[in-house]
Amino acid sequence: MEIWPTSIVVPAGFRIGVTLSGRDFEMPGDGPWPVVYGIEQRGNGVFVHDDPDDRPAGTFDGTTTIHTGPAAGTSILLPVIPSPV
């Protein structure tokens, strides 16, 4: 899975929610949607994954299976940044 870096600081006691999807997220329904760099902003930002050279259909048009739970051996590693003294 591709996860883009961010600069969000989560306060102690808060929770982090992670949503995994087999495609770029797009808001449903009709626009008008803002356009940035020629890309219609439907919730996915400017980082879409539809370039036929970078994402050839023969490689990227399959089924994505996500295994979860204690027996799956999956994890996500997040840094812990100590608060300034």
| pLDDT tens figures, 28-76 | 888 788 888 888 888 777 777 778 888 888 888 888 788 888 898 877 7
For residue 17, being part of any structural domain is answered with: no
What's the domain count of the chain? 1
Write down the pLDDT at residue 30: 84
Measured between alpha carbons, how far is 55 from 8 in angstroms, rounded to an integer?
29
Print the domain residue range for 59.
24-64
For residue 7, being part of any structural domain is answered with: no
For residue 77, being part of any structural domain is answered with: no
Residue 9, pLDDT > 70, answer yes
Residue 16, pLDDT > 70, answer yes
For residue 54, being part of any structural domain is answered with: yes
Write down the pLDDT at residue 24: 76
Residue 1, pLDDT > 70, answer no
**In this structure, what are the phi and psi dihedrals at residue 60, rounded to the nearest 5 degrees?**
-110, 15
Write down the pLDDT at residue 32: 84
